[in-house]
Amino acid sequence: MSEAAIEKPAGTGEREAPVLWLHAVERRYSEAGAPLEILKGAELAVWPGESVALIAPSGTGKSTLLHLAGLLEAPDGGEVYIGGRATSKLSDSERTRIRRIDIGFVYQFHHLLPEFSALENVVLPQMIRGLSKKVARNNASELLGYLGLGERLSHRPSELSGGEQQRVAIARAVANAPRILMADEPTGNLDPKTADHVFSALGQLVRASRLAAVIATHNMELAGRMDRRVTIRDGLVVEL
């Protein structure tokens, strides 16, 4: 990846390599036998500790962009770089490994395991990665405490409020210390006051952990508190 090919936005400090770079990305689908162009050479770069709001109407390619950035899909053209490494030609197992280690996902619905406590939901992904139960529990307790859930560790999802459930989901997403966080409408199901609280916790975590975060949202007030705002227009990523 050429450093000359991409510049860090003004006002964001010393230039460094982006953690995530979608370069000239193309994505098309087949609809009724005809190609449907979704992304047409899209560019997006995100640096450590930077939060980017993705604001786009349904049908413009927002979900496609998130799927490509999260390595859930491969582009038809261009390249997705994670930490400077090209990923489009990697094997499925290599892409899965990068997703497991370098990328955390938060969705509009929390998708917590209902039979497990808040603590256990955050412990499990760490143990799957290979950490001991003791280390995973210590990490999970610290992370949930940081997010204001220190008194709720033993509660199951059904015993938590919507905001608490989503904060557990955020803790789970970052439990394995990923470099990138992808969030798709993480506060979409919450009332404004709860959404504000969850978003503040998420923002603190992004800055403290130096995550590169791409957060899709329709909430313009919350988007305005992020470092940058982008949309998708005519298959391209455009700064707002």
Q: Assess whether pLDDT exceeds 60 at residue 15.
A: no
Q: Residue 47's pLDDT is what?
A: 95
The structure tokens 């256990």 sit at 120
Q: What is the pLDDT of residue 8?
A: 52
Q: Is 109 contained in some domain?
A: yes
Give residue 93's pLDDT.
93
The predicted model gives 90-110 an average pLDDT of: 90
Q: Which candidate, 100, 88, 110, places its Cα nearest to that of 194?
A: 110
Count of domains forming the chain:
1
Look at residue 6 in the predicted model and tell me its pLDDT: 53
The CA distance from 99 to 105, in Å, is 9
- Per-residue confidence (pLDDT) for residue 7, from 0 to 100: 53
Judged by average pLDDT, the poorest of 30-39, 111-120, 160-169 is 30-39
pLDDT of residue 34: 81
What is the pLDDT, as a whole number, of residue 238?
Answer: 95
> How much of the chain, in percent, has pLDDT values that exceed 90?
61
> Residue 36 domain-assigned?
no
Q: Please, which pLDDT band fits residue 56 given cuts at 50, 70 and 90?
A: confident
Question: Is residue 97 in a domain?
Answer: yes
Which pLDDT band, with edges at 50, 70 and 90, does 13 fall under?
very low
pLDDT digits (tens, 9 = 90+) for 215-228: 998 888 889 989 99
Instruction: Render pLDDT for 108-153 as a digit per residue (tens, 0 to 9).
Output: 788 899 999 999 999 999 998 899 999 999 999 999 998 889 999 9
- CATH number for the domain harbouring residue 199: 3.40.50.300
Tell me whether residue 216 is in a domain: yes
112 within a domain of the structure (yes/no): yes
> Could you list the residue range(s) of the whole structural domain that residue 200 is in?
50-62+92-239
Model pLDDT, residue 199 = 84
Domain-located, residue 24:
no
Average pLDDT of the chain, as a whole number: 88
159 lies in some domain: yes
pLDDT at residue 1 greater than cutoff 60: no
Residues 6+ apart with CB under 8 A from 37: 26, 28, 235
Least confident range of 31-40, 47-56, 147-156: 31-40
